[in-house]
Amino acid sequence: MGKARVTAIGTYVPEKRLTNPDLEQMVDTSDEWIVKRTGIKERRIGRPDEQTSDLCIAAVEDLMHRYDKHVEDVDMILVATSTPDFPFPSVASIIQNKLGIKASGAMDLSAACAGFVSALHTAHGFVASGLHKKVLVIGADSLSKITDYTDRNTCVLFGDGAGAVLVEADAASDSFLGAYVGSDGSAAQHVYRLGLSSNVNDIELQDTPYLVQNGREVFRWVVRNIPKTITTLLERAEMQMKQVDWFVPHSANLRLIEPISEKLDYS
């Protein structure tokens, strides 16, 4: 296997800020309640005419500006999103066209909260195997467009934004020390948005166009499984938690991150 390295990073968040005091005017909640349970003080909200592909392109433009990079020679685009502009064509293909990337494959990945790391894992495999030389990986969502702003349990959590990285071949160094990928479809009924079906695991789902989440069950699953997953990852990489300088989990909310850190004895 060859080596692959993250060579550039870009980000974008929309200008509009939805603060906790704003939400106090919309649902039965308070700034104190939200901060205590989630650690969140504000979330960014895209314009009505600002789609996920727009967020992606802005993140890539930030990447190019920060690192003086060009993307015309990218040979694969991977976009992780749960809120594509369309079921098809893919967001990745829209980006390919708008950025003028000629000789590139383009595909979307749907893995919800695990989307970006799944796309990054895939990019590493593409580059390390020699299938591709320069992969553009983007994680982006316009979750405000599928959030029910009458449901205080979900509307306090979600916002919009995008992050982009370039993964390139590098014979001298490797950014990827280890990986562990898993899944558990048995809990699918606890966080979903309806598609062509309204039944999963023989359970009839709530009929709504919005994102639905059973926060209590998601919390239990995460705290039970994620520390074990991280421990397995560290073992595969032949590392210990005390060697980790930065622990950057999916930032669902502080109430989830804290018990994971405690179980790993990481602070």
Strands (DSSP E) found in 100-174: 105-109, 134-142, 160-169
**CA-to-CA distance for 165 and 177, rounded, in angstroms?**
17
**CA-to-CA distance for 139 and 189, rounded, in angstroms?**
23
Q: Which of 138, 229, 145 is nearest to 179 (CA)?
A: 229
| Count of residues making up the chain | 267
**Residue 127, SS3?**
helix
- Residue 90: predicted pLDDT: 98
Buried residues in 84-93 as b, exposed as e (16+ CB within 10 A): bbeeeebbbb
pLDDT in tens, 42-57: 999 999 999 999 999 9
Same fold, 4-169 and 185-263: yes
Q: Which amino acid is at 257?
A: I
> Based on the number of CB atoms within 10 Å of its own CB, is 81 exposed (0-12), middle (13-18) or buried (19 or more)?
buried
pLDDT in tens, 9-64: 999 999 999 999 999 999 999 999 999 989 999 999 999 999 999 999 999 999 99
Share of the chain above pLDDT 70, in %: 100
If you ran DSSP here, which 8-state letter would residue 206 be given?
P
Q: Which of 54, 58, 43, 114 is nearest to 84 (CA)?
A: 54
* Residue ranges of domains in the chain: 4-169, 185-263
pLDDT in tens, 79-128: 999 999 999 999 999 999 999 998 789 999 999 999 999 999 999 999 99
Strands 160-169 and 4-12: antiparallel
Chain-centre distance for alpha carbon 133: 23
Q: Which amino acid is at 263?
A: K
**CA-to-CA distance for 146 and 191, rounded, in angstroms?**
13
Q: Are 56 and 46 in contact (CB under 8 A)?
A: no
pLDDT in tens, 141-158: 999 999 999 999 999 999
Strands 105-109 and 76-80: parallel
- Indicate the average pLDDT of the chain: 95
Structural domain 4-169, CATH architecture:
3-Layer(aba) Sandwich (3.40)
Structural domain 185-263, CATH architecture:
3-Layer(aba) Sandwich (3.40)
DSSP bridge partners of 165: 9, 137
